[in-house]
């Protein structure tokens, strides 16, 4: 049961019985996804970039997708890549952009990245770290500055990196498994 109602007009309404079909996986809930235990932030970025981290919040190996909060603590080129699949983004804090576009995103801004797009993700100097909630469809194809593919990264790379990080810092690999749906 969620928190009990007080003055809400729906007080007394019963929950739907048998809400989860047999075989369905449970929902996922994570409070305050952009905050919390520092150990949950996985150093990320290929090629490796300092001060860039990803906190996974949902992982789907069968869809080759994941959702995360991407954080850049300093202004930097976060990475450069090509997307064969769609991406959704919501800006939580900081300032960021793609060099290939007109806009500069700050808190509250939404972006949809269409399949077929190459771009260079940069974070700006800002009083708050860049934190962006992304729903990512793998793979990402890493690009050099000429736009040539130099590698790839998908949900299996992501799980490997996160698992190694969590197993090395005491969080444990079971935590990563708890995010898989
Ligand atoms: Fe992207």
Between the CA of 87 and the centroid of ligand 1 the distance, in Å, is 7
- The residue-averaged pLDDT of 32-49 equals 85
pLDDT bin (cut points 50, 70, 90) of residue 123 is: very high
pLDDT in tens, 124-164: 999 999 999 999 999 999 999 999 999 999 999 999 999 99
Is the pLDDT assigned to residue 50 strictly greater than 70? Answer: yes
pTM of the model: 0.94
Cis peptide before 135 (omega within 30 of 0): no
- Whether 29 and 15 have beta carbons less than 8 Å apart is answered as no
Residue 46: what pLDDT?
57
| Residue ranges of domains in the chain | 61-177
How many C-beta neighbours within 10 Å does residue 8 have? 10
- The residue-averaged pLDDT of 20-47 equals 90
pLDDT in tens, 14-24: 999 989 999 99
pLDDT in tens, 64-109: 999 999 999 999 999 999 999 999 999 999 999 999 999 999 999 9
Between the CA of 24 and the centroid of ligand 1 the distance, in Å, is 31
Residue 47: what pLDDT?
57
Between the CA of 106 and the centroid of ligand 1 the distance, in Å, is 16
To 5 degrees, how large is the angle CA 64–CA 171–CA 94? 65
Between the CA of 6 and the centroid of ligand 1 the distance, in Å, is 44
Between the CA of 71 and the centroid of ligand 1 the distance, in Å, is 14
- The residue-averaged pLDDT of 56-68 equals 98
Residue 45: what pLDDT?
62
pLDDT bin (cut points 50, 70, 90) of residue 1 is: confident
The CATH architecture one would assign to domain 61-177 is Sandwich (2.60)
- Whether 123 and 75 have beta carbons less than 8 Å apart is answered as yes
């Amino acid at each position: 049961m969620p928190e009990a109602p007080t003055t809400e007009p729906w007080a007394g309404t019963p929950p739907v019985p048998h809400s989860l079909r047999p075989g369905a996986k449970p929902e996922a809930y994570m409070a305050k996804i952009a905050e919390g235990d520092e150990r949950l932030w996985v150093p990320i970025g290929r090629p490796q970039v300092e001060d860039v981290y990803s906190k996974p919040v949902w992982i789907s190996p069968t869809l080759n997708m994941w959702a995360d909060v991407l954080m850049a603590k300093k202004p930097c080129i976060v990475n450069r890549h090509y997307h064969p699949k769609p991406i959704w983004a919501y800006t939580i804090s900081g300032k960021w952009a793609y060099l290939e576009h007109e806009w500069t995103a700050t808190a509250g801004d939404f972006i949809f990245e269409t399949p077929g797009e190459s771009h260079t993700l940069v974070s700006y100097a800002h009083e708050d770290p860049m934190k962006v909630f992304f729903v990512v469809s793998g793979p990402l194809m890493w690009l050099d500055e000429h736009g040539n593919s130099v590698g790839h990264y998908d949900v299996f790379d992501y799980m490997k990196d996160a698992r190694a990080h969590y197993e090395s810092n005491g969080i444990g690999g079971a935590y990563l498994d708890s995010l898989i749906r």
